[in-house]
Structure 1
Amino acid sequence: MEQQPTGIRGILRRQAPPWRRLPDRWPGPGGLGEEDGTRLPWLSTLLITGFVMIGSGFAAKGQPDRESLDVFARLLLAGGTVSLLWRRRHPVLVAFVTAGTALVYLSAGYPYGPVFLTVALGCFSAVVTGHRKAAWSALGMLWAGHLLVAHWLYRWLPPDDGPAPWSQEIGVAAWAAAVVALSELARVKREQWRRERREREQAARRRADEERLRIARELHDVLAHSISVINVQAGVGLALLDSDPEQARSALTAIKSASKEALGEVRQVLDNLRTPGDVPRAPAPGLARLPELVEQAAGVGLTVEVTAEGDPVALPPGADLAAFRIVQEALTNVVRHSGSRTARVHLCHEPAVLRLRIDDDGPATGAPAGGSGNGLAGMRERAAALGGTIEAAPREDGGFSVSAVLPFREDR
């Protein structure tokens, strides 16, 4: 059975549709994956060799004044094309080999033709892999050598037909410039593509990290609140089991209700993980469920007074959920860390801003909380995600206060 990728890449591959999944290996400097970079391009090189051999034969028929193709010419042509097998591993060497074999081929008086294709491919591979100076040097060597042969060494080299016209040299120079220009364009496009690919990968990793933090925050808020209620009620039930069975029964009933609600919310989070993109089966909690929090707090002996100021408006889902979780976490901290039996929640509705304040009169119990210590951090992350702020600090009279400012857009 094929082993599935793990970690962030595994999460991205499992959740992304097939046409957007990330490859297991990124292309290396040569433009191929690590695995493909070890393979020689036999098929393409074979096709290029066939084309150069056959094309040179046809080109020779149209240039009767040049030397006919013999075994040495065929060996030179084959040497240049076969060297293209290593154009991905050793692009600099291949660029100079193709240019050198082409220079010897032309210096021997053989006909012009597809031999220039071999040079173009060798130099193209060097440029797109970042060896620009090597490619330019190889092309410059070929052009300078051809210029030297065509206007000086022609006296001692075949086919002894006089100096070549300067228009021919201009054509060779134009061809070399075109090869360089196309290679540079391909290199720029390739670097742009690789940069965009890296940016997409980094963005995907950021989205995965943000989603992981969001899920961790959600699970923490759900479990911390519910388990705190269960812990308090369990203590009450144990203390009253013998002396007041009816009160102990009420505590067990509250434990059952809190655990059922926690399981439902955890199941909703896990369902969203298993089926990404599906519509949630239940709406996300919001301030509409604030009476439930008050009722749960009353079940553990905490009286919560809720006051509101301003005209309430329909909050966007993100702001509504953040406000609910902040109040929930603040009340959970009162239950776990404060000896106060009264807490106050004040909501201030302003245009495009919701202000929250949760106070208790203390004092701090100093007892071990048994939590993860991520409650305040989670509240700050929720507020920061909306562009808001959180302030949490002890009060001068011994209590504790949590203040939140949550901006939102009314058109959402």
Structure 2
Amino acid sequence: MSTTEPIAAPTLGSRARRVALPLVLSFVAVAGSLGASRGEPDRRAADWFMVVLILVGTVSLYWLRTHPTRVLWATVVATLVYMLMQYAYGPVIFAFVITVFYTIRMGYRVSGWAALAALYIGHVGGRMVLGINEQGVYQVLLVGTCFVVLGFTAELFRAHRDRVMAAARTRKEAELRQAGEERLRIAQELHDVVAHHISLINVQASTALHLVNRQPEQAAPALSAIKDASKEALVELRSIVGILRQSDESAPRQPVAGLERLEHLVNRTSMAGLEVHTVVHGDPHPLPTGLDRAAFRIIQESLTNIVRHAKATAATVRIQYGEQSLVLQVDDDGKSLVGPPTEGNGIIGMRERATALGGTLTATRTPTGGLRIVATLPL
């Protein structure tokens, strides 16, 4: 299986680099082979066909990156014919070495090793067929050893390249995963903040509209609650937006939402007409920031759902501090309903928060038909 790098659109610089290697190697190979011919009078004399064979291997390197296997076999044929025709030994082998190294390194392992075997067997077998026996066993084994060393050297570089690419893919996947988790966390925060405060504003606005004509003096607390809830929503939203922008401006921010703000949450919810009772079991103690925030948001979303959807007048929040986990339970006294509760974005978001911490969250009916949310968050 081949692993090739994506080929970018050629630029002036890349074209120059692609031309440089064939050009330089062509000059070196032709000049070196001509010089070797003068020093080896017993070999076939240099002629135009020798130059053509050399140029087939060197010039084809221009297409090495785009068509590696075709260039590989072109150099194999040109080099093999050059050797069997007994031209002088020279730098003709350079193009073949470069092509084999590149193809194996880029992942064309079968083609690279097949080319090594083809040139070696073709050279040794061709000489036997043509009756050329000027090389001894030692020389034949030496050439074979050099080919094997070339192949394994290319394999080492290929393995290194694969490790680098795998590490890059792993980093990219981790970055994408972290970005996805961060988007989910931000979406949950925005949903919890907006849904809670808008629900309170909606309830208080309905109350104010109902009282404004009949008992205008009693509409003032509802309007005040709307003002406070909208102000608090704007503060939290601006805080989240400031984090997204990573700005250093002194935006008004509240402490990270946690169970220490539970009393404030209960008071706000009570102003919407829902009586909330809090029961704590165990010894309260500081919690990890992520778990503390998740616990607060689960309770907040549970109360928001009750205010928005349940025809309830009271809710009970139970918090149990255990040695291994924190257990949250929120019940309401809604009307008698049958069947499992419908899971909307609120319950799904709460379950995602619990699951992200390795915990669980269930939504069931109470014996009276109300909604019961139970979340277990491991410490």
Please report the TM-score for the alignment, with normalisation by the length of structure 1.
Answer: 0.81
Which deviates further from its counterpart, 267-276 or 398-407?
267-276
Secondary structure in 2 matching 1:339? coil
1:121 correspondence with 2:98: yes
Q: In the alignment, what sits opposite 1:381?
A: 352
Match of 1:309 among 281, 289, 299: 281
RMSD: 3.0
Query: What does residue range 246-395 of structure 1 map to in structure 2 within 5 Å?
Result: 246-275=217-246, 282-363=254-335, 373-395=344-366
State the number of aligned residues.
371
Percentage of pairs with the same residue = 41
Question: Residues 256 and 36 from structure 1, CA distance in 2 versus in 1: closer, same or farther, beyond 3 angstroms?
Answer: same
Q: In the alignment, what sits opposite 1:206?
A: 177
Q: In the alignment, what sits opposite 1:31?
A: 5
**What amino acid is the match of 1:71?**
W
CA distance in 2, matches of 1:168, 1:390: 75
Listed as ranges, the gaps of 5+ residues in structure 2 are: none
**What amino acid is the match of 1:181?**
F
Q: In the alignment, what sits opposite 1:140?
A: 117
Question: Residues 333 and 145 from structure 1, CA distance in 2 versus in 1: closer, same or farther, beyond 3 angstroms?
Answer: closer
**Following TM superposition, by how much is the alpha carbon of 1:406 offset from its aligned partner in structure 2, in angstroms?**
1.0
Q: In the alignment, what sits opposite 2:151?
A: 180
**Following TM superposition, by how much is the alpha carbon of 1:31 offset from its aligned partner in structure 2, in angstroms?**
2.2
Please report the TM-score for the alignment, with normalisation by the length of structure 2.
Answer: 0.88
CA distance in 1, matches of 2:321, 2:89: 83
1:406 correspondence with 2:377: yes
Question: Residues 39 and 203 from structure 1, CA distance in 2 versus in 1: closer, same or farther, beyond 3 angstroms?
Answer: farther
CA distance in 1, matches of 2:125, 2:309: 91
CA distance in 2, matches of 1:187, 1:193: 10
Provide, for residues 314-373 of structure 1, a one-character-per-residue CA deviation record: whole Å limited to 9, x for no partner.
10110100111011111111212223222211111112421111112112799xxxx993
Listed as ranges, the gaps of 5+ residues in structure 1 are: 1-27, 156-161
Report if the CA contact (8 A) 2:337-2:369 is conserved.
no
Which deviates further from its counterpart, 175-184 or 37-46?
37-46
CA distance in 2, matches of 1:277, 1:166: 77
**What amino acid is the match of 1:239?**
H
Report if the CA contact (8 A) 2:21-2:61 is conserved.
no
Question: Residues 54 and 314 from structure 1, CA distance in 2 versus in 1: closer, same or farther, beyond 3 angstroms?
Answer: farther
**Following TM superposition, by how much is the alpha carbon of 1:190 offset from its aligned partner in structure 2, in angstroms?**
3.0
Which deviates further from its counterpart, 113-122 or 138-147?
138-147
1:102 correspondence with 2:70: no
CA distance in 2, matches of 1:189, 1:61: 42
Question: Residues 339 and 282 from structure 1, CA distance in 2 versus in 1: closer, same or farther, beyond 3 angstroms?
Answer: closer
Query: What does residue range 86-101 of structure 1 map to in structure 2 within 5 Å?
Result: 86-101=63-78
**Following TM superposition, by how much is the alpha carbon of 1:237 offset from its aligned partner in structure 2, in angstroms?**
0.7
CA distance in 1, matches of 2:337, 2:73: 80
